[in-house]
Every structure is written in structure tokens, then in C-alpha cells.
Chains A and B, each alone.
Chain A
């Protein structure tokens, strides 16, 4: 079950060019924005593209973004729900 979470961490590091961050540094439950990784609105756009590119999922309703990208855990749950 944790495979998807690890995959997402790796994709985020690559997509957002987080040079000094390793997979082990990202906590699955930690917030991605503000505290935690400290991502911003441009990163949110990059994450939307990342979901489409690597997982084939388009986010049609932008207001969903806040909940989907809260953490690695919420992203993984969203992907699983979409693929179920």
C-alpha cells in the first residue's frame, strides 16, 4: 500500500526540483504547503500537471486541489479513489 506514497514522493522531488530533499525526508502525513515542504501556488500547478502526466488523472474542479494536495497521504487516497 505504501508503494504509491513512495512513488509520489519521488515524483514530487523530481517535478519540483527539490535538490536537497530525499524520499525519507518527506512525511506521508505532513502538510505539503505552508509548513512541511513549504510549497507554494506555482508548485500546486506543477502537482496538477504531475498527476495528469504520471497517473493520467485530470482535476476538473480546481477547488478540490486544497484537499487533494494536503499531504502525500491525501494525494494517494485521491489517486486510489480515481482508479478504483
Chain B
């Protein structure tokens, strides 16, 4: 089920939309939340269409257009997105207006754009793409589900499939998740995320699109050789068993992996499992990424982006390194979990 990543568009808290750059300048935050650094959207979307779009829609369309241009593709064979919470700002706007105006005089735009599949639909409308269009809202594996669907479509012969993940962190969203303990109580600098011992993580957001295909091109970043997910393992040991099973099913052992991209999010309740997994890879360079994008349901897409960029550039930025092992990336394992429930593993290779 091997596919190639032939184009990328990444709008995140880092200046990642410019594919010629790779974390040379790092953006940090001191308020436990990393928000997107926005490109100039008028370069991608006409002003008359832009005026109606909330930030997440602008980001979704722009990241898709950047990925398509990067892959030199005009019309993708399918558009598949994943999102945990969908278009939250529009949902908030619609619900707040209902309350404020006593369910009277409600405007249609926010309601129409509040659904999870808005971004997929708006991408299709903007490029007049009538092909397969789907959105997965599967909590912490929403991006993985879109990737899985895209990989299967490629296996069936579809060309240039656009897959992606997007989520946004509005003020209200950040406050509400804070009430259930999602974020750290004391504020930290985002770059200190992995050194902080408090429970909770930092909020984040991004919109990341990939063009995948069965065929390699001159612009290919990496191949995604395999991907799997599993739910609520019984123990930390069982996570290691799953990782070993995954690798051995592709005739690999931990020593074959050059770089592990782990989804550590600084939460002392749930990061221990990453340490258990990383101990199995003493010869690999260990890297993290959530100090650059924050924690959100589709943040694994940022990990996939990091793996693909490392494989294409054959470099590992110092800001993502978690240990002192220096390997040249050839095979990268991306390990992620959300709340010790939704786990995913991705295997990427240099191409």
C-alpha cells in the first residue's frame, strides 16, 4: 500500500507554507497556545470569496492550493480531509448568535460553514473538482483516517489524491478544553514543552494537505510505506508489541529505523508511553514536533510533514531533536497517540 507524497501545503504556527524553508526560524509562544502564522490569502483566494470565509476555511483552501501547485497538479483524483472539531469558529458564531438574538434573525453563512465537511467542499468548489470528496471526524485519528482512505484510493488506481488534516483553536475552544484539564495550568514557553512536568499540553492548530500518488515524481518528498491505528491498548507493553508487530510485518526491526517522530505533547499523564517506545530505538534519532504546532486532534499531520521534509532534505533540524543520536534519515517511524486512546503508526522512507 505504498504511496508517495508529491506535494505539501502546511499552514501552521510555524512559517511552513513556504516549501522552500524548513524550520530555519522558529516561532514560539508564552501563553500555552500556538496559533497559525497566516500567509497572505489574497494570493490564493479571490477577495470576493475570501470575505465570507472563516480562518479555517481560508487555511484549508490555501494549504490545498499550495500542495497542488507543489505537486504540479491542477485537479486531484479525490479530496479527503480529517478534522477533530471541524469549523469551530463558525459553529461558535452561529450558536452565540442564536443565544444573543433569541433564535431570531439568524444569518445563513456561519451555519452553512459550521459543518465538518465545509473545508473539503470549499476546496472542491474553488478548483471545480467533482471527484470523490469525503471528511473524517474521528477524534485523534481523523487525519490518519483520511490518509488511510487516500492510500486505499491510490491502491485502486486513483491519481493525485489530496489528503489533509485541519483543526483550529479559537478563544472559546481553548477556554473550554482548559476547563477539562487539556492545557497546562501555569504558562510556559512552547519551546520548553518537553521539559515541563505539569499535566496537560499546549493548544495548537494547523491545516496541512498532502498530494499522494502511487507513482513517484521529481518532486516526491518521501514514500509512506505503511500506516496503522489501534485503540486503547491494555498496557504500555502492548504498545511496544504493536510497534514491533507493525515493523516486523514489513520485515523491519527497530534498528532499521533512523528517526522516530514521536507525538510527545508535554503532558506528564500520557507522555511516559513515548519514553517506553523510544527506549526500543536506542540507535535512532528521536524527534518531537508538538512544541512547534501544539496539541490538536489532527496534529499527527504535522508529524507526517516533519518526516517527509526530513526525508526530502536529508536533514534533521536541531529544534526537533530529543536525543544526541545523529542519523541520516532514510526510514522514519511516526508514533502518535491522543489521550492514550487513539494510537497511530506511520512508516515513511526516503525515495
Contacts and interface: CB of A to CB of B under 8 A. Distances in A.
Interface of A: 15-20, 38, 42, 45-46, 49, 52-53
Given A15-B107, A42-B108, 19 more contacts: A16-B51, A16-B52, A17-B51, A17-B52, A18-B51, A19-B47, A19-B50, A19-B51, A20-B47, A42-B52, A42-B109, A45-B108, A46-B107, A49-B107, A49-B108, A52-B104, A52-B105, A53-B101, A53-B105
B99 interface: no
B106 interface: yes
B48 A38 contact: yes
A45 B109 CA distance: 9
B276 interface: no
Nearest to A45: B108
B112 interface: yes
B105 to A, nearest CB: 4
Contacts, number: 28
Give the 9 A-B CB pairs with smallest separation, nearest first: A53-B105, A17-B51, A45-B108, A49-B107, A52-B105, A49-B105, A46-B107, A19-B51, A38-B48
Contacts of B109: 42, 46
Interface of B: 47-48, 50-52, 101, 104-109, 112
A43 to B, nearest CB: 8
Contacts of A45: 107-108
B106 A49 contact: yes
A20 B48 CA distance: 9
Nearest to B112: A42
Nearest to A16: B51
A42 B50 CA distance: 14
A18 B48 CA distance: 8
A60 to B, nearest CB: 15
A17 to B, nearest CB: 5
Contacts of A46: 107-109
B23 to A, nearest CB: 32
Contacts of B108: 42, 45-46, 49
B203 to A, nearest CB: 26
Nearest to B50: A19
26 contacts: A15-B107, A16-B51, A16-B52, A17-B51, A17-B52, A18-B51, A19-B50, A19-B51, A20-B47, A42-B52, A42-B108, A42-B109, A42-B112, A45-B107, A45-B108, A46-B107, A46-B108, A46-B109, A49-B105, A49-B106, A49-B107, A49-B108, A52-B104, A52-B105, A53-B101, A53-B105
Contacts of B47: 19-20
B58 to A, nearest CB: 12
Contacts of A53: 101, 105
Contacts of B106: 49
Contacts of A18: 51
A41 B53 CA distance: 16
A69 to B, nearest CB: 15
A61 B107 CA distance: 18
A49 B111 CA distance: 14
A16 B106 CA distance: 14
Contacts of A16: 51-52
A18 B52 CA distance: 9
A53 B105 CA distance: 6
Contacts of A17: 51-52
A27 B36 CA distance: 38
A49 B109 CA distance: 11
B94 to A, nearest CB: 12
A16 B47 CA distance: 12
A19 B46 CA distance: 12
A15 B108 CA distance: 11
Contacts of A20: 47
Nearest to A52: B105
A46 B111 CA distance: 12
Nearest to B49: A40
